[in-house]
Amino acid sequence: MDAVWSSYHLSSFSRQIAIQFLHKMIADPTPDFDRAKAFLLRKVNGTARPPPNASAWQRGCPELLPGLTARPIWPSDAFPWIPDVEAAFPSILAELGRLRDGERSGFQPYRAPSSRDGGGGKGGVGEEATDRGSWNVLYLSLGSVMKFEENRGRMRETCGVLDGIEGIYGHSFLR
């Protein structure tokens, strides 16, 4: 797996998140992660190749995940948690609105670990991760590794909705 992590230029922080996710995936007895497990097994064994039903446009892409469907717009009924998010929208909007009234909103520049600097970047938080402009974000969680408790305290209902989504990856922030 070290070769796989290295091929993606993961910082030590991102590698820890990936390892935790891998442990969670391996321990899950449901078929939810079967495609990802098959992909990683082929990647580790050096046999990664496009699935037989791949489009001719995808033939040269080594990173195709079998069975993953790409769509420009997904129907909301494809995700059972959408009604919960929609129902909570007024509360989420109210929580977000209250941040404007606070002394410190908690928003900060969006940064991502950098493969060029080993993930450290400026002050250990990586580099700006947008190709144009700047984003200010309110981090709520970065995987299971880092929870932003002060921000989560300001966004209790939002976090309650997010925490209720089964199988959520766990990177959550508001932009």
Give 156-168 pLDDT, tens digit per residue: 999 999 989 887 7
**Amino acid 22: pLDDT:** 85
Global pTM?
0.56
SS (H, E, C) 104-125: CCCCEECEECCCCCCCCEHHHC
pLDDT in tens, 118-172: 444 444 455 565 666 677 888 898 766 677 899 999 999 999 999 898 877 777 8
